[in-house]
Structure 1
Amino acid sequence: MSKFWDIKSKNYSRPSDTDTLRETDDILKKIADMGVCFDNRSIIDIGCGGGNYAIPLSMIAKNILCIDFSDGMLDILKEEVKKNNIKNIKYLKSDFKKFNTQKYYKKFDISFASMTPAVKSEDDVLKMEMLSNEWCVFIGWAGKRKNSLTERIIKAHNVKPFVPDGFGDVKKILKKRNIHFKSEVFETYWQNELSVDDALDDISATIKLDGAKPDRELIRRMLLDEFSSGRIISETYGRKGILVWVAN
C-alpha cells in the first residue's frame, strides 16, 4: 500500500495549489462550524499525506505531529515545511496500525484523519480517541468517486472500479458504539493534467491495488486514443463526508 501512495505522490496536489487550498479552507470552515476549535491546539494528523491540512493549520495550531507510511508523501510535507519555514510541525514515518498509541496516550487535543486508508476499523477509531483529549475529526469518501477515463481502463482489465466509502464505514462504527457525532456530506471535483507516462504509472498503480496486473501497452494505447496530444486530462467527480465527535 505504501508503494501505491509513493507513486501517487508524484502527481499529488500540493497544499499551496489554488484549488486544493480553496477546498481545504472550505472544509476547515465546515469543521469549525461543527464546534471544533483548532486555535492553539495540539493536533495529530493521521495519514497526513503531503500536508494539505497540516500546512494551513500550522498557522493557528500550537503544534502538529504528522504521521504517514509513504516516503513520497512525507517528502512533499518536508518540502512544504521547509519552504514555509514552519516550526511547529513534526513528522514521523509510521503505519497507524503499528503506531505506539500508549506512548502518545491523550497527548493531543485533536485527532485528525483525512482521506486516508489509515482509519477503517473500529480499532482504528478507538486509537484516534485514545490519542485525543477533545475532538476526533474524520474526512473520507462518501460512496462516490467517478473518473470516466480511469474507469474505462480499469474495466478493460476486467476489474470492477472500487468506490470507497470511508465516511459511511466510520459512521457505522460510531452508530454501533452509540457515539454522538456531527456530520456533513458535500460534492467535490478536481482536474489533473498529466503526461502519458505519469498517467500510465498512476492508473497502473490503481489496477495493482485492485489485485490485477496492469497491461501497460493497453493502457498507453487507450490514453493516446483519447488524447493524441500526449497531455492527459483526468477529471474526477466525488463526494466526501466529514465526521466530528468528542473523544471519550
Structure 2
Amino acid sequence: MSSNIALWNSFSKQYPQQDDASINKDAHYIIEWIESHGISFENYSLLDIGCGTGAFSIPLAQKKAHITALDISYDMLKIVHDKSVECDVGAFITLQHDSWSTFSRAQTFDIVLASMTPAISSTYDIDCMLQATKSLGIFVGWKRYENNTLLDLLLLAHNAPEHYSNRSVEVKEFLHTLEKASIAYNVHYFPTTWKRAYTYEEAKNYAYKQLLNRQIFPQEEKIDAILHDIMVDNRIVSENKSIKGVVLFSKCALLKEFSLVC
C-alpha cells in the first residue's frame, strides 16, 4: 500500500483539480444528467471512492450532500480539504485516507460514487461497491479510450500499445455485474476531450509515472527523444479523446422512481 500512496501522492502535483475546465465540464455534465432523473443530493450520505482532487466531492458538497471523500493519497485529500475550505463546504466533507481494498465493509451510504478510479479494478471491487450502497450508485468509466497523444507515443516506443487503461473497469464489465445481481440501471455515453500542457520536466515526470503505473520500465533515451520531437515553444501538449459512460443504478424496487427510500 505504501508504494501506491507514494505513486498517487506524486500524481497529485500534476493531477487536474476540481476547478480545471475539462474536469469541471465533465463532472457538471454528469451531475446534471443524474439530476434529470429527479435525484436530489441534499442531506443524503455519499461515499466518493477514489475521490482524487474532489471533482465530484466539492460540487456535490455544494449541493449539501454529506460526503465521505475516500482516497489512498494524503496529497489528494489535502487538495480536497483546501478546496472545501475555499468553497465553504468543509462541514459537508469528511476526509477518509484509505484504500478501497481495506476500507471498512460495515459502512453503507445512501449513494456511492466511483468515477474513473483504479480503486474499482475488479469484479470484487464492484461487489464491495454494491454492498456499500443503500439505495443509489453512480459509476463513471470508459466505454472506449480513443487516444492520448503523448501517452500513445510513450507506449508505442516501449512496445506496450495495449496498456491504455488506467486500470479501472470498463462500463461494460460494470453493467455485466449489475445484470448478474439483477440490479436496475440506466446508462449514458458521451464523448469527452481535454488537453494538458507541460514543461519539459513536467512531461518527463508524467512519462515516468504513467509507465511505472503500468508496470513498464521507463527508457530515458526513448522518453527524451519523444519529448524533444513534440515540444513546441518549450511546451509539450497532450490531447486526449475518449468516450465515457455514466451508470446510475438503483437497489430500490422501482427503477423509474430512483427513490432514495427503498
- TM-score, structure 1 as length reference: 0.91
Counterpart code for 2:199:
S
The separation in 2 between residues aligned to 1:176 and 1:129, in whole angstroms, is 12
Aligned CA-pair RMSD: 1.8
1:65 paired with 2:61, answer no
- TM-score, structure 2 as length reference: 0.87
Cα displacement string for residues 11-49 of structure 1 (whole angstroms, at most 9, x for unaligned residues): 121112233222211110112224432122111111100
Aligned match for 2:241, one of 233, 237, 240: 237
Contact 1:139/1:167 (8 A) holds in 2:
yes
Aligned residues: 245
Counterpart for residue 202 of structure 1? 206
Q: How does 1:108-147 map to 2 (within 5 A)?
A: 108-147=109-148
Counterpart for residue 37 of structure 1? 40
Counterpart for residue 182 of structure 1? 186
User: How far apart are residue 211 of structure 1 and its match?
Assistant: 2.1
Counterpart code for 1:32:
E
* Residue aligned with 1:97, SS: coil
Counterpart for residue 157 of structure 1? 158
| Percent of residue pairs identical | 27
User: How far apart are residue 201 of structure 1 and its match?
Assistant: 1.1
Counterpart for residue 231 of structure 2? 227
Residues 212, 18 of structure 1: CA spacing in aligned structure 2 closer, same or farther, 3 A cutoff? Answer: closer
Return 116-125 or 235-244, whichever deviates more: 116-125
Counterpart for residue 88 of structure 2? 85
The separation in 2 between residues aligned to 1:52 and 1:34, in whole angstroms, is 21
The separation in 1 between residues aligned to 2:57 and 2:239, in whole angstroms, is 25
Contact 1:188/1:238 (8 A) holds in 2:
yes
* Residue aligned with 1:58, SS: helix
Contact 2:183/2:251 (8 A) holds in 1:
no
Contact 1:121/1:170 (8 A) holds in 2:
no
Aligned match for 2:176, one of 172, 177, 185: 172
User: How far apart are residue 228 of structure 1 and its match?
Assistant: 4.5
Gaps of at least 5 residues in structure 1 are none
Counterpart for residue 27 of structure 1? 30
Return 81-90 or 230-239, whichever deviates more: 81-90
Counterpart code for 2:99:
D
Cα displacement string for residues 129-173 of structure 1 (whole angstroms, at most 9, x for unaligned residues): 332321011111112141122211221111124233521221121
Counterpart for residue 250 of structure 2? 246
Gaps of at least 5 residues in structure 2 are 253-262
The structure 1 segments of at least 4 consecutive aligned residues displaced by more than 3 Å after TM superposition are 1-4
Contact 1:196/1:220 (8 A) holds in 2:
no
